[in-house]
Every structure is written in structure tokens, then in C-alpha cells.
Amino acid sequence: MKVSIQVRLKNGILDPQGKTVNNALHHLGFKNIQNVRIGKLIEFDIREADKKKASVIIEDACKKLLSNPVIEDFSYVLGED
């Protein structure tokens, strides 16, 4: 089963990388783009046909390794294989 995880900085957490990209875009003339935030996209295959069981594993992996729960939130989508 394909899994796509999106990890975002929580609201209110400063995002210097996003700020830098925001400035770069403005310098390139993209003045109508604002509030840039950069997150992570983590995709993998999971050998688990049961969606419920897969979800448990994914959330466990997110909490233990893939995200920093103090400053980040995650969401995920389970796809077809």
C-alpha cells in the first residue's frame, strides 16, 4: 500500500526556510505570493493490506521518527498499491 505523509510546522512556529523562499519569490517578481511555509513529504510502501493496521503503524512511525511532535503536525493519505 502506498503511503504519503505530509509533515508541516505547527501554526505559530517560525519557518525561516519558508521566509527565505518567500523573499526569493518576491525578488523574482512573484509579488502576489505570501505566507510561504515549507514542509516535508514522505512517501513509502507498506506491506500491510489492512488500512486500520497500516494507520496504526504509520502514526507510530510519525511520532517516533518522521515528525517532531513538539513543533510539527503530520497528516497522511493511504493510496492503492
Among 12, 14, 16, 34, which residue interacts with a copy of itself (rule: CB under 8 A)? 34
Q: Does 14 bind a copy of itself (CB under 8 A)?
A: no
Query: Exactly one of 11, 16, 32, 80 binds a copy of itself (CB under 8 A); which one?
Result: 32
State the Cα–Cα distance between residues 14 and 57, nearest whole angstrom: 29
CB-neighbour burial class of residue 67 (10 A; exposed 0-12, middle 13-18, buried 19+): buried
Q: What count of other Cβ atoms lies within 10 Å of the Cβ of residue 80?
A: 5
Cα maximum dimension of the chain = 48
48 binds a copy of itself (CB under 8 A): yes
What's the closest the beta carbon of residue 43 comes to a copy of itself, in angstroms?
5
Judged by the rule CB under 8 A, the positions of this chain that interact with a copy of itself are 6-8, 21-22, 24-25, 28, 30, 32-48, 57, 60-61, 64-66
